[in-house]
Structure 1
Amino acid sequence: MELIIFLAIGAIAGFAAGLFGVGGGIIIVPILYVVFTKMSYGPEVVMHLALGTSLATIIVTSISSLLAHHKKGAVIWPVFKNLAPGLIIGSFFGAGIAGLLAGEHLRLIIGIFALWVARNMFVGAKKIVDQNKVLPSRAKQVFAGTVIGVASAIFGIGGGSLTVPYLNFYGVIMQKAVGTSAACGLPIAISGALGFMLFGIKEQVNISNSIGFVHIYAFFVISIMSFFTAKLGAKAAHVLSLVVLKKCFAIMLFIVGYFFILKGLSSSI
């Protein structure tokens, strides 16, 4: 049953990663939280384990997605090079910050974040990008990358929920914003996953089939499936109109957000 669940998570998350450039973590984290809870892992580590494992799977998803987008010429590599240093530094320290937070606080933070992303995605589904704008200086892009990296590690995501709106704001069209976001997800995922591993080991987390806060079995199964479906999602991103799909995805995020907020509040009472 665990194998089937992990395969299903990989299929859905991979397709979403390729289609929306969101890394798939916003889908992986809540499902892993439920699965790991059912596997009787302690409440003090379940949220951290879901976040760390999510970031590890995004390493594979990002590679698959960025290769597909690169073939379509949708990755703006100079922008990636500017954002990458900040993404690496930010995501590593973001993992450390997440390690210091209690599980119920993480649930509340992620729930609020999911609602924010859902609202932006639903309202901005038909938004027209102002292509007259230009990206800021390299230094400002590095700073933006650092902020995105910190937030992405705390939320256990590949950063697309933040990178895509950031690039859209500065006039990058949706397809190229998604493609560049897919590339940016790789340094976030690698640095963030290593951070969760190291900080988990430091906390002497003793969980079977895991290294620190990364569940190795879940990582392998989800990654294998998401590698293939991310390519399908990337192809669909260049063919389909995203308006309806974005609204459907936003509705799902509203559900995820309220789920985590209720879980966080119930644990705090």
Structure 2
Amino acid sequence: MDWGLVLVLLLMGAFGGFSAGLLGIGGGMILVPFITMIFSARGFAPEVIVHMAIATSLGTILFTSMSSVRAHHLHGAVRWRIVALLSPGILLGSWIGPWIGKQMSSTVLALFFGLFISFSATQMLLGKKPSGGRELPGTVGMFAAGGLIGLLAGLVGAGGGFISIPFMGWCNVKIHNAVATSAALGFPIALAGTLSNIFYGWGVADLPPYSLGFIYLPALAVIATASVLFAPLGARTAHRLPVATLKKVFAVVLYCLAAYMLWKAFH
């Protein structure tokens, strides 16, 4: 890779890591469109570009989640019981998500990602408060919720915060606890999703050199390095700034990235 590309990937990783720590969204929603742009510019086979962008994004979350969750844990914000109850379903769902993605063409996958990121941006922009009285479901309900979170996260290459945070908010978990707990949930999502993308991408035609399944290792290494450095900064910022205001700014960014992925689906 040339130094210009390394610099771009470092900036992407810094922005993705900061947003992961700040909002608990894993950074994937931001990274996937940018990685797609870079892989397209480098002439990767169109049939695998979106699959590789999603897989590489999930791989970076392995490192980002460990970095950001430490900062949140030091603030005593992570609800570890919730992590324990959701993780079994998340591991299963995150393994299945990439398998479903493999059955889709890059066009369909880009369209699905664009629509889903638009939905998530709207959710973030509206910032609706949950009504009182709801509690977390029992073990079976938490397994089912974890399965859905993992399935969608594995499919779109994100950390799952776009579903887990609203779910926890709906169950009256405080927003800072929900963001911190979502950061911790990013690890089982990324672990199962990364292994699944390696397994289902193994031997696929037209993958570029230095690929491990659908994961492009050079991009993973550079982005993960920057993400790990900036995720704790985002986590600390989440406890100091009005996150509701920042979410509106990020929602606008997500709309722009969604527009690109929708354009990519038809070009």
TM-score calculated relative to the size of structure 2:
0.96
The answer to whether structure 1 residue 207 and structure 2 residue 208 are counterparts is: yes
Distance (whole Å) between structure 2 residues aligned to residue 156 and residue 261 of structure 1: 16
Query: Residue 245 of structure 2 corresponds to which residue in structure 1?
Result: 244
Displacement after TM superposition at 1:130 (Å)? 4.4
**Counterpart in 2 of 1:234?**
235
Whether 1:58 aligns to 2:45 is no
Report whether the alignment pairs 1:181 with 2:182.
yes
Matched, 1:218 2:219: yes
The answer to whether the 8 A contact 1:80-1:180 is kept is yes
Match of 2:196 in 1: 195
Provide the residue aligned with 1:19 in structure 2: 22
Q: Deviations over 1:219-262 (max 9, x none)?
A: 11111111010000000001100122111000111111122112
Please say if 1:257 is aligned against 2:246.
Answer: no
Taking the aligned partners of 1:138 and 1:93, their CA distance within structure 2 comes to 21
Task: Give the aligned residue type for 1:63.
Answer: M
Aligned partner letter, 1:253:
L
In structure 1, the partner of 2:155 is: 154
**Counterpart secondary structure, 2:111:** helix
In the TM superposition, residue 19 of structure 1 has moved relative to its aligned partner by 0.3
Contact kept in structure 2, 1:205 and 1:212, CA below 8 Å: no
Change (3 A) 1:202 1:142: farther
Q: Does 1:44 align with 2:27?
A: no
**Using the alignment, how far apart are the partners of 1:43 and 1:203 within structure 2?**
13
Aligned to 2:116: 113
1:92-127 per-position Cα deviation (integer Å, ceiling 9, x unaligned): 111111111100000110000011001010011xx4
How many residue pairs were aligned? 264
Q: Partner of 1:8 in structure 2?
A: 11
Which residue of structure 1 lines up, in the alignment, with residue 170 of structure 2?
Answer: 169
Cα RMSD for the two superposed structures: 1.1
Percent pairwise identity: 37
Match of 1:70 in 2: 73
What TM-score, normalized to structure 1? 0.96
Note if 1:79 corresponds to 2:101: no
Give the residue type in structure 1 aligned to 2:193.
G
Q: Secondary structure at the match of 2:48?
A: helix
Are the aligned partners of 2:45 and 2:207 in contact in 1 as well (CA < 8 Å)? no
Are the equivalent residues in 2 in contact too, given 1:149–1:188 (CA < 8 A)?
A: yes
CA distance in 2, matches of 1:240, 1:209: 40
Deviations 1:128-180 (A, max 9, x none): 44454211111101101001111001111010111101100000011000010
Decide whether the 8 Å contact of 1:131 with 1:173 is kept in 2: no
Partner of 2:107: 104
CA contact (8 A) 2:24 2:183 kept: yes
* Conserved? CA contact 1:204–1:212, under 8 Å: no
Structure 1 residue ranges without an equivalent (≥5): none
- SS of the aligned residue for 2:77 comes to coil
Alignment-mate amino acid for residue 148 of structure 1: I
Looking at structure 1, the residues matched to 76 and 39 of structure 2 have their Cα atoms a distance apart, in angstroms, of 39
Where do 4+ consecutive residues of structure 1 move more than 3 Å? 127-132
Contact between 2:45 and 2:206, CA under 8 Å: does it hold in 1?
no
Aligned residue for 1:43, secondary structure, equals coil
